[in-house]
Amino acid sequence: MIEDIINIISNTLISMVPLTLASVGEVITEKSGIVNIGLEGIFILSAFTSTIVTFHTGDPYLGLISGIVIGL
């Protein structure tokens, strides 16, 4: 029982990291006067592209680079 609770909490914290990074990026962007409401979509599209490129080429570094390029 206690292991299940610990697993749920640890999985929640692990899943929270990308959204926290997006939130911090949005706060910094809004302080500069630009509103970007598509950060979560950019994260999803970058992750999808990285996964597809890595799967088809077998090169994780190429997948990482493609995700970065799509995110820009």
What CA–CA distance (Å, rounded) separates 7 from 16?
A: 14
CB neighbour list of residue 57: distance below 8 Å, 6 or more residues apart = 63
Q: What is the average pLDDT across 33-50? A: 87
pLDDT bin (cut points 50, 70, 90) of residue 17 is: confident
How many contiguous H segments (helices) and E segments (strands) does the chain have? 3, 0
Query: Residue 15: its pLDDT value, please?
Result: 85
Percent of the chain with pLDDT over 70: 100
Query: Per the confidence metrics, is the pTM higher than 0.85?
Result: no
Q: What is the average pLDDT across 16-36? A: 86
pLDDT tens per residue, range 50-60: 999 999 999 99
